[in-house]
Amino acid sequence: MKRVFSGIQPTGHVTLGNYLGAMRRWAEVDQHRADSLFCIVDLHALTVDHDPARVQRLSRQTATLLLAAGLDPGLCTLYVQSHVGEHTRLSYLLECVAGDGEMRRMIQYKEKSARERERGGSVRLSLLTYPVLMAADILAFGTEEVPVGDDQVQHVELARDLAVRFNQRYGHTFVVPKASLPGVAARVMNLQNPTSKMGKTDAGQGVVYLLDEPDVVRKKVLRAVTDSGRDVVYDREGRPGLTNLLEILAACTGGNPESLASVYDSYGSLKKDTAEAVVEVLRPVQARHRELCADPVYVEGVLRDGAEKARELARPRVDTAYRAIGLLPPA
Ligand code: AQP
């Protein structure tokens, strides 16, 4: 069976972008067709200015939401990254095959380091090395496929490069993974700024959160920035606001964004239908989330069992990498 791995950072409340770009596919497709691991990558949340209590709270909430979205511990492994030491053990080895130049070229590093500087903060070294830790997350498990949104493709490419380089220098150790993207909504854009990705750390009306009440969702979608012009057309470059709404509607209803464009003759009706489609997609997830919140012991048990399983799966390959690179095995 194919090995699939993917992760989500507890850096903010889970968004509609996370759901449509990644989580929904993990639950509806990946866990049924592959031997899948899904991880709350909490160490990555420490790469930018963070509040310790909030990261803990968001880690629990993200795990609960992943279960609410349909991840089934009988079908997949769900765990928290910091509970499995193999991630950081392997990350160091991969730092020894990665170059600082390739880290500085990462788009997310450029964007997030600029944001930290704008806020007057310093840039953490871990922000620069974060893609190496992500490569370790992936490579530790012999992952073949990484289902992600479009923004993570460059990082998966780096994981591929590091796997190939390590294998060439030290002998075949890692499977070379590839990214897989959803057909639609691979990059859901901010509703107020449709040329920027809808990100967890953005505040404001442009981001729909998975736990937003129906009326809040409606308000945000109805107030989405659209483009000048009257006709409804699918054009990512020229009409990013409309295109984003069409992509969201298509992802929520199973349609095709380009053909949906011809169904609408006004922005108002497109927004109204999109708002209702999002509300309907979120409804069962929110209901299940409420049930799971009443049973935190269940969620903790899932994470404990998941971490144990992930440790067992990762350890042999990480041990092999330690020997291959020239480290003396403990007596
Ligand atoms: N807008 C999006 N559209 C489609 N997919 C998305 N993903 C994230 N945003 C979108 C995918 O969701 C998975 C988990 O994402 P993450 O936790 O790595 O990223 P994030 O939500 O963008 O969180 P950040 O980086 O902490 O926040 P920002 O960007 O605000 O700084 C991934 O598969 C990702 O592709």
> How far is the centre of ligand 1, averaged over its atoms, from the C-alpha of 79 (Å)?
18
Query: Of 170, 173, 306, 194, whose CA–CA distance to 242 is shortest?
Result: 194
* The one catalytic residue among 2, 110, 112, 309: 112
200 is catalytic: yes
Tell me the backbone φ, ψ of residue 15, rounded to 5 degrees. -110, 170
Mutate to test the pocket of ligand 1, among 151, 201, 252 (most ligand atoms within 8 A of CB): 151
**What pLDDT is recorded for position 276?**
98
Q: In total, how many domains does the chain have? A: 2
**What pLDDT is recorded for position 2?**
96
Domain assignment of residue 50, yes or no: yes
> How far is the centre of ligand 1, averaged over its atoms, from the C-alpha of 151 (Å)?
7
Q: What is the CB neighbour count within 10 angstroms for residue 213?
A: 12
- What domain range is 232 assigned to? 214-290
**What pLDDT is recorded for position 227?**
83
**What pLDDT is recorded for position 202?**
86
Q: What is the CB neighbour count within 10 angstroms for residue 100?
A: 10
Strand order in the sheet with 76-80: 76-80, 35-40, 3-8, 145-147, 178-180
- 9 and 120 assigned to the same domain: yes
- 15 and 100 assigned to the same domain: yes
Domain assignment of residue 259, yes or no: yes
* Complex ipTM value: 0.97
Domain assignment of residue 144, yes or no: yes
Binding-site residues, ligand 1, Cβ < 6 A: 6, 8-9, 11, 15, 17-18, 21-22, 148-149, 151-152, 185-188, 197-202
Ranges in the chain, pLDDT < 70: none
Query: Of 264, 283, 262, whose CA–CA distance to 272 is shortest?
Result: 264
Per-residue pLDDT tens digits for 64-102: 999 999 999 999 999 999 999 999 999 999 999 999 999
Q: Nearest residue CA, atom 28 of ligand 1?
A: 199
Domain assignment of residue 315, yes or no: yes
Q: Please give the number of the atom of ligand 1 that sits closest to the Cα of 15.
A: 21
Domain assignment of residue 204, yes or no: no
- 167 and 221 assigned to the same domain: no
Helix (H) or strand (E) holding 158: helix 153-170
- 309 and 255 assigned to the same domain: no
